Structure 1
Amino acid sequence: MESQAFKLFLAFIGVMAVGFGIVATTRESPQEKLQGAFLQTSSLLSKLALEKCTDAVRKEAGTHPYTPSESSGDHTTNATLIWNNVGTVKRAECRYVMDQGITLLRVDDRVLIEKEAPQLGGAAPKPAHH
């Protein structure tokens, strides 16, 4: 009986060793890491855009907008959401830019927020002195 238990114990240790070996030798490739980072960024952007834009449109429309009718963007830095027929509002458009917040909020024909997106890859131009 003891030798049977000892054999089961050794088999268990062997299976665990093989499992640890497989886990230790399996590594994420750089491409897999990049894909994971892209998915996390895209998910965070979508969540923030939907949360912030829904709140802004709700304040203007007086009713909660549910799923946007349209959405677009580059999935890494910006997202544009459009709702049609929210309460008394026929069309609401909201653009959310990562690290800048809402840069455009247009409700019907009224532009409530419009911020210029900063230029990428360089410093802002200095004002001319006269």
Structure 2
Amino acid sequence: MESQAFKLFLAFLAVMAVGFGIVATTKETPQEKMQGAFLQTSSLLSNLALDKCTAAVKQEVGAQPYTPSESNSDHMTYVHLTWSNVGSAKHAECRYIMDQGITLLKIDDRTVIEKTLSQTSTGEKPKGEHH
């Protein structure tokens, strides 16, 4: 009886040792590292754009926008979000660009923020910009 318990214990230790060996020798490839960095950047950009644009729309409309009805992104530099029926507004549109903040904010037919290329290259910030 004692020898079987001892054999089971040794078998358990052997399985654990093999498992630790496999985990220790498995390395992340450069491609897997790049994919991980891309996914992390994309996720951070999307979350940041959603937070900033949601706050800007809420400030202009006075109502909390929730899930955008449309979104578009290159997953590296910009995110474009659109909401339908936010409070009194029928349409809200926001574009967020990495390192530039909100570059477009439209509520219905009214343009609140529109940052053009010349403004971004000179470092000027349009009046009423949300960061």
TM-score exceeds 0.5: yes
Encode CA deviations 1:45-79: one digit per residue, 9 max, x unaligned.
Answer: 11111111011101111111121121112011110
Number of equivalent positions: 120
Encode CA deviations 1:70-97: one digit per residue, 9 max, x unaligned.
Answer: 1112011110101122122122111111
Structure-1 residue corresponding to 2:24: 24
Unaligned runs of 5+ in 1: 119-123, 126-130
The structure with more helix, counted as a fraction of residues: 2
Sequence identity percentage: 72
Normalising by structure 1, we get a TM-score of: 0.80
Structure-2 residue corresponding to 1:94: 94
Structure-2 residue corresponding to 1:121: none
Going from structure 1 to structure 2, the CA distance change for 1:50 and 1:84 (only over 3 Å counts) comes to same
Structure-2 residue corresponding to 1:67: 67
Structure-2 residue corresponding to 1:49: 49
CA–CA distance in structure 2, aligned partners of residues 98 and 24 of structure 1: 37
Structure-1 residue corresponding to 2:115: 115
Encode CA deviations 1:4-61: one digit per residue, 9 max, x unaligned.
Answer: 3332332222111111111122222211111111111111111111111011101111
CA–CA distance in structure 2, aligned partners of residues 34 and 18 of structure 1: 29
Structure-2 residue corresponding to 1:128: none
Could you tell me whether the CA contact under 8 Å between 1:95 and 1:104 is conserved in 2? yes
1:117: Cα distance to partner? Answer: 5.0
Unaligned runs of 5+ in 2: 123-131
